Amino acid sequence: MKLEYKILWLDDQIQDFIDDEMIQDVEEYLIEQGFQPKIITVSKSEDFFKSLDDSFDLLLTDYHLNDINGDEVIKKIRSQEFSVLSEVLFYTAKADLKDTDKINRVSFLETNTLLGDHRELVLQATISLIGLTLKKFQNIIAMRGMIMHETSSLDVEMIEIIKKALKNESLNFEEVSISIYDQLIDLFTKKTEFVQECKRKMNFNQLTKDNFVYSAKYKILTLSKILEDLKMTDFSTEYDSEINSIRNKFAHAVLKKDENGREFFKHQEDGIDFNEKLCKVIRENIVKHKSNLDELKERVLIKP
């Protein structure tokens, strides 16, 4: 599972969906759910199969295309050549899908333009199917795995930005780094004293609660200094609260069940319930800070 939700959409008249802002409606729905939408639209089957791979969460296509039969598209998607198991929605305004081969995870929609707008019905079916796929994804155990993966990716992104910043001569990195050096020296002094105290009291439990040296906290602190030097808005405090702190608490939360048998994670010390609602907020924050890091990366890459 990933934060980015990818859709590949094939229709001879795809521009009509774009002009009616229906692609935008789908994007907005995914954003509301705390996911990053990536929708690729094509009007020819050749372009569809050039783009097709197993990274897509949903495939959408008109069943009646000018250059290929719908049954052929279905079989080709699931063939050994592609072996794509993504959810698929085929739609048509003609009621002629009775004899089509029903293949696993393929949905069919027959619309009647006399009863309503064809494209609007396709949009409703698309959002409904996306909602179904998100429900499948949002098992709380899988969600914790996804959030741990995405936040770890942000750690990697921060290190890459710091390395690039070191090569940027317009940045006064000596001034940036001195405070980090001093704080780490102070940290090591305190940690040495802390470990000695734990040893003296034989308090190994207290020792296990401590994250050491250049943790995510020090990564974001370094970025804070870079943001200050670049005169950019400092998002480090929010990042530390919304990403670092919440990730650490999620990682140490305990799996529980409510009175209805629904699973959730609970952080015992703070009493935080990591449920579907909170996970949505966490996803939104990850998307926000991905954008912040992307903006910072662009500025760091600018040569003096």
Give the pLDDT of residue 104: 54
Contact 51, 82 (CB under 8 A): no
Give the pLDDT of residue 23: 94
Give the pLDDT of residue 6: 94
Alpha carbon distance 120, 123 (integer Å): 5
Long-range contacts of 72-77 (CB under 8 A, 24+ apart): 73/10, 73/45, 73/48, 74/100, 74/101, 74/103, 74/106, 75/101, 75/103, 76/49, 77/52
Alpha carbon distance 266, 284 (integer Å): 20
Look up the pTM and report it: 0.70
From the first residue on, what is the mean pLDDT of each consecutive set of 10 residues in the chain (304 residues)?
Answer: 88 92 94 92 93 91 84 81 83 63 66 69 90 77 85 87 87 84 88 86 71 71 91 94 92 87 87 91 94 93 70
How far is residue 156 from each of residues 86, 134, 149, measured CA to CA in Å? 29, 27, 11
Alpha carbon distance 137, 115 (integer Å): 33
- The partner residues of 205 in beta bridges, in order of sequence, read none
Give the pLDDT of residue 213: 43
Give the pLDDT of residue 175: 82
Contact 90, 38 (CB under 8 A): no
Give the pLDDT of residue 212: 66
In terms of Cα–Cα distance, which of 273, 215, 276, 277 is closest to 240? 215
Orientation of helix 140-166 relative to helix 118-137, angle to 10°: 90
